[in-house]
Structure 1
Amino acid sequence: MLAYVIPFCLVVIGLALALNLVRLVKGPSLPDRILALDTLYINALALIVLFGIWLGSDLFFEAALLIAVMGFVGTVAAGKYLLRGDIID
């Protein structure tokens, strides 16, 4: 059963990545683009985890954890820059 479901989910999440990329490029304002970037890394994280499940490798889960941490820090830094104009207080 998983042999059919995981490739289907990979395609659907790949489509979500493409739509997020369109919103990132076309976004009407800077906060929309930052939100699209945040959603883009979350979808990439899901894609990497699914690929790791499909291949049965633990290496992909460690990479997903690193991407999650870096994405969170990047989103916080971008939000802080939008609010205050400076990242470091």
Structure 2
Amino acid sequence: MSTPLFVAGIVGGTMLAVGAAGAIYRIVRGPSLLDRAIASDVLLVVLGAALVLDMAVRGHTQTIVLVMLAAMVGFVGSVTIARFVEDLRPEHGREPNDRVRAGEDTASAMKEEHRG
């Protein structure tokens, strides 16, 4: 079976395998949390691309749910890690436009803002 689509599937699969190996290497080696987070996101994208490639070569749509789940997990994981890393920065202080003081709730801060 040497149709052009099959050959393209072999070439694409090889490229995806190299990308997955690079992502796994970066997950293991690090050196930082962000490097590992980006590499895990890349690995999820490679997984989704491999599933899509399989669907194209074999002509089915049975794994589309797995592609959507991989995309959602990657998005939610990236947003969560970005929020986590942003709050841990040493230079991350309160923003100048942030009107809520530490220990206060939003309602009391808004009442004080309307008074003055």
Name the TM-score class by shorter chain. 0.7 to 0.9
Taking only the aligned residue pairs, the percentage that are identical comes to 28
* 2:40 is the counterpart of 1:37: yes
1:27 matched residue in structure 2: 30
Cα distance in 1, alignment partners of residues 64 and 17 from structure 2? 18
Q: Which has the larger radius of gyration?
A: 2
Please, which runs of 5 or more residues in structure 2 have no aligned partner?
89-116
Report SS of the residue matched to 1:59.
coil
Length, aligned pairs only: 85
1:61 to partner: Cα distance? 1.9
| TM-score (ref. length: structure 2) | 0.68
Structure 1 runs (4+) greater than 3 angstroms displaced: none
1:66-77 counterparts in 2 under 5 A? Answer: 66-77=69-80
Please, which runs of 5 or more residues in structure 1 have no aligned partner?
none
Cα distance in 2, alignment partners of residues 52 and 60 from structure 1? 7
One-letter amino acid of the structure 2 residue matched with residue 44 of structure 1:
L
**What is the aligned-residue RMSD (CA, Å)?**
1.2
Which protein, 1 or 2, shows the higher relative CO under an 8 Å CA cutoff with sep ≥ 6? 1
Cα distance in 1, alignment partners of residues 41 and 70 from structure 2? 11
